[in-house]
Amino acid sequence: MSEPTPRKAVILVSGGMDSAVTLAMARQQGYQIHAFSVAYGQGHSSELEAAARVAHMLGAVEHKTVHVDLRSIGGSALTADIDVPEQGGEGIPVTYVPARNTIMLSIALGWAEVLGSTEIWCGVNAVDYSGYPDCRPAFIEAFERLANVATKAGVEGAGIRIHAPLMSMSKADIAREGQRLGVDFTATVSCYQADAQGRACGHCDACRLRAQGFREAGLPDPTRYA
């Protein structure tokens, strides 16, 4: 008797610790992993290099990177000549990239349809995050509704599901889950302004939240700092 064909899942992989743990969780659940990254004009390529490493190390059957030039519209410290702050401050910080998650999920949705997949996974988190509006449950729920009225797969098929398994987890929870699943966090890059070798600045919000997560989890911080 032949083995059942595993379900395909498209996993958004940024190169950071959250998306790496998300990929590992999907793999544990038996999905065939199709890793998806977006080169959107971010200030450094080291996170995309990390995404490729993570996809390979965690057993993705393929890794696709799509290029979208969000730098041409700017509006963020990650896509324009705006300094990355060491503290986020009040309100939505300048590291928010306008419509980034909407754009990434939309392209991932198209690829999922082509692959015949109804499952899209992303590592958005509404607990230890920087105040981004597109990292909240309301956004994921709204995008899933959109996906199911905007696609052939949604209208005629089994329906599209958007998974955000880290949504209510703290960074410490995520660090512990990654350790349990065998994620090599040294391969990941979370820093907003990592150098060409992927070494972290140690000062930005992303670095601060990541270090705090490992500390609260009682785990050594594996981050490579400049």
Domains and CATH numbers, the chain: 8-217 (3.40.50.620)
- For residue 38, list its beta bridge partners: 66
Mean pLDDT for the chain overall = 89
- With a cut of 70, say whether residue 130 has pLDDT above it: no
pLDDT category of residue 205 using cuts at 50, 70 and 90: confident
Average pLDDT over residues 1-15: 81
- pLDDT at site 85: 64
Q: Cα separation of 209 and 190, whole Å?
A: 10
Judged on CB neighbours under 10 Å (0-12, 13-18, 19+), 220 is exposed
Q: Is 46 helix (H, G, I), strand (E, B) or coil?
A: helix
Q: Is 87 helix (H, G, I), strand (E, B) or coil?
A: coil
Q: Would you tell me how many other CB atoms lie within 10 Å of the CB of residue 159?
A: 13
**What is the percent of the chain with per-residue pLDDT over 90, rounded to a whole number?**
69
pLDDT category of residue 87 using cuts at 50, 70 and 90: low
Nearest to 125 by CA among 82, 66, 173: 173
- With a cut of 90, say whether residue 114 has pLDDT above it: yes
Q: Which of 21-25, 71-75, 93-97, 170-174 has the lowest mean pLDDT?
A: 93-97
pLDDT category of residue 98 using cuts at 50, 70 and 90: confident
**Amino acid at the residue 29:** Q
Q: Cα separation of 152 and 142, whole Å?
A: 18
- With a cut of 60, say whether residue 95 has pLDDT above it: yes
Q: Cα separation of 33 and 9, whole Å?
A: 5
- pLDDT at site 45: 86
- With a cut of 60, say whether residue 129 has pLDDT above it: no
Kind and range of the H or E run holding 56: helix 46-57
**What is the percent of the chain with per-residue pLDDT over 70, rounded to a whole number?**
89
